[in-house]
Structure 1
């Protein structure tokens, strides 16, 4: 059943360009637009799940998370850098462009397309690690959140189990904050996916937003409460 939801990452055109959204209005803004004084930046970097294929920009889960941030009065700008059809290799090639401006929180949601295509996990692991290394080089103080993904056992139970464990291993190795499974409660549920059966509906994105927010909220509040460096 999970293959239906995970296929969302790979079924839309790869010609989309990275889009950015403000948390409050979901208006598209350049990913490298300088933040205003004192404003922090949360960047979502992923595939069509992040890009919100088939729904309005303000219905995709990054924008919904932005609304939750605004409701608490936290001074963060949410940037949606999702790209439909993206693999970890593609993400590795464009992450440097996206990070020409520093970020405070980087949410990494990639790998689903790799798993569906049966790509070697060594390559997926290497690409994810390279993205993480680039983030830490470009934004040394950024908190990195890794969105866990799972795939059905179509390619074998061992491959599926190793794919799931890959996210836990990378998170532990790099001391990242882990979202255990981004599609929890949505994957494979036709009621929460569009007529094609693979892309989340607005209701599905609301559940994704809750999955992300349960992990992201304490992190953001801790950042706000932390004293300035050197204080």
Structure 2
């Protein structure tokens, strides 16, 4: 003959049931993916020069990614006026332990100062070496020199980014301005998307930049998630 539970034992079991159900549900549910941690290492284009904070590159990129279901945190490592040398000088301490991926957008100020392409290449190489040493995936964003520096300078500078991307096996995007400039164009060809200085994109320009560059950032995130 089966023994029935006493009143007190039955009451204790009934009270425990909701907690048991919740625990079972938590164990059965798939683990939530952790937030992907990115660093955007760049100059004023990354920093958001001339724009209110939410219109800058990093906030707009974060919002674009979140709309597509990505749980991501992006550290704004943009410093206005920075060269590739400046990026190299701070990359090591900028790559804190939680950073899993880095977007590198540097070289524009090297061009404005007419620095030797060999110097820019060496600095970018050092940045990629630092990322490689720490196991950080990279999206390298390319840049093209204007024609007024001469064909030899332009050829040397333009080759830096695709060659380093191939050597270090990074994700590669040919141009930061791909979303607002025709191929081979200059900022003067898209004045409606530029600020008055003709160098930095306005809020609408940044939106277009993000739409064009976003898929490359998603590729970077996929690499990070596949490696986990």
How far does residue 227 in structure 1 lie from its aligned partner after superposition? 7.0
**TM-score, L = length of structure 2:** 0.77
Judged with a 3 Å threshold, the aligned counterparts in structure 2 of structure 1 residues 218 and 127 are, in CA distance, closer, same or farther, namely: closer
2:78 matches 1:57: no
The answer for unaligned runs of 5 or more in structure 1 is 1-36
Q: Which residue of 1 is the match for residue 96 of structure 2?
A: 100
Higher helix share: 2
Q: Report which of the two structures shows the higher radius of gyration computed on alpha carbons.
A: 2
Q: Is the 8 A contact 1:116 1:151 kept in 2?
A: no
CA RMSD of aligned residues (A): 1.8
Ranked by relative contact order (alpha carbons within 8 Å, sequence separation 6 or more), the top structure is 1
How far does residue 215 in structure 1 lie from its aligned partner after superposition? 1.2
How far does residue 120 in structure 1 lie from its aligned partner after superposition? 1.3
**TM-score, L = length of structure 1:** 0.76
Q: Which residue of 2 is the match for residue 220 of structure 1?
A: 221
Q: Is the 8 A contact 1:62 1:209 kept in 2?
A: no
Q: Which residue of 2 is the match for residue 82 of structure 1?
A: 78
Cα deviation, 1:154-189, whole Å, max 9, x if unaligned, reads: 111221122111111111111111111111224322
Structure 1 stretches of 4+ with a deviation exceeding 4 A read none
Aligned residues: 189
The answer for unaligned runs of 5 or more in structure 2 is 1-32, 182-186
Give secondary structure in 2 for the equivalent of 1:81: strand
Question: 1:30-179, aligned counterparts within 5 Å?
Answer: 38-137=34-133, 139-140=134-135, 142-179=136-173
